[in-house]
Copies of this chain bind each other. A is one copy, B any other.
Amino acid sequence: MGGCFNMMLNFHLVVILMLAICGVRHRMGMAKAEELSLESVKGKVYTLDSVREALIRQEDTIVFGLIERAKFPMNSHTYGGGEEIPGFAGSLAEFVVKNTEAVQAKVGRYNNPEENPFFPENLPPSLVPPYPFTEFLHPKAASVNINKSIWKLYFDELLPLFVASGDDGNYAQTAASDLSLLQAISRRIHYGKFVAEVKFRESAQQYEPLIRAEDKEGLMKLLTFESVEEMVRKRVEKKAKVFGQNVTLNNGDEKNVTYKVDPSVAATLYKNWIIPLTKDVQVEYLLHRLD
């Protein structure tokens, strides 16, 4: 009886996720910006539905970020040695990210549990009164931060895939667009904590024994839906085509369409990094869920 209930719950989850990731959306005559804003609910409620909506919306931000970074050539000086900035041991990109994170920390960015800094060790305290963000995650969530890995793969593997070689001197602007894209990717991957918490609450009976046994493989299996992942990759690739095309008033001939970023790069980013790292975050979070 219990097994049957679990099976049904799991089936329910798969159906919801499939619908979610297919992008089937409830369209109830939404028209005004008020109704479209997904993040405007005070005392935010996290459900499988709202988490799914947030993940889909974040895809757009990530694709925009790729396109905006591709405006600049590699500008490798941005990532050069440490001698360029007097009194700072690190690259220009590191200087911009560290100092901009510090500015944003002072006005409370990292009070929101959806945000994870790249340099948590250098963060000044917030100067503004704390906002009452919904306490949805287990307290151990704060310790799950894989930004060091994201940082490395971003500069070592992702950038060379889609950025033209060359140098136009716009290092500050380049680093600023790196920061935006890094924040978007990091936010998406660490949203795995919310995905995991929602799933855990919906079928704790399934997760608890695996967590107690520290069965990473079992947890990973429970969190993996290959057909769903395939659809996410396809949708992201489609978004890269739609958002990265050169729009003219007389578009129509689909031949000779050029894209600002090769759409397969967006799909690769999701396939090789975002999807697996999100699952790593989920497993890592769940392992501490019963602490």
Pairwise interchain contact B249-A22, C-beta atoms closer than 8 A: yes
Pairwise interchain contact A166-B72, C-beta atoms closer than 8 A: no
Interface-facing stretch out of A8-16, A103-111, A273-281: A103-111
Q: A33-B164, A107-B85, A170-B39 are in contact. Are A247 and B235 (CB under 8 A)?
A: yes
User: Could you give, for residues 176-187 of chain A, a 1 whenever the CB lies within 8 Å of some chain B CB and a 0 otherwise?
Assistant: 100010000000
A207 interfacial contact with B, CB 8 Å: no
Which residues of chain A from 151 to 185 have a CB within 8 Å of any chain B CB? 162-173, 175-176, 180
CB-nearest residue of chain B to A235: B249
Pairwise interchain contact B109-A173, C-beta atoms closer than 8 A: yes
CB distance from A248 to the nearest CB of B (A): 3
Which residues of chain A from 11 to 41 have a CB within 8 Å of any chain B CB? 22-25, 27, 30-34, 36-41
Which positions in A face B, CB cutoff 8 Å? 22-25, 27, 30-34, 36-42, 44, 57, 60-61, 64, 67-68, 70-73, 84-86, 92, 95-96, 99-100, 103-109, 111-112, 115, 127-129, 131-133, 162-173, 175-176, 180, 231, 234-235, 238-239, 242-243, 245-250, 256, 258-262
Pairwise interchain contact B73-A39, C-beta atoms closer than 8 A: yes
Distance in angstroms between the alpha carbons of A262 and B176 in the assembled complex? 27
Pairwise interchain contact A36-B172, C-beta atoms closer than 8 A: no
Q: A interface, by DSSP: helix, strand, loop or mixed? A: loop
Q: Which 8 A-B pairs have the closest CB atoms?
A: A23-B248, A131-B169, A109-B172, A40-B166, A40-B73, A37-B164, A34-B164, A99-B103
Distance in angstroms between the alpha carbons of A147 and B223 in the assembled complex? 50
Distance in angstroms between the alpha carbons of A173 and B132 in the assembled complex? 16
A99 CB contacts on chain B under 8 angstroms: 103, 106
Task: Select which of B39, B132, B246, B247 is within 8 A of A72 by beta carbon.
Answer: B39
CB-nearest residue of chain B to A261: B33
Most buried by B among A22, A27, A247, A258: A247
Pairwise interchain contact A112-B169, C-beta atoms closer than 8 A: yes
CB distance from A25 to the nearest CB of B (A): 7
A169 CB contacts on chain B under 8 angstroms: 108, 111-112, 131-133
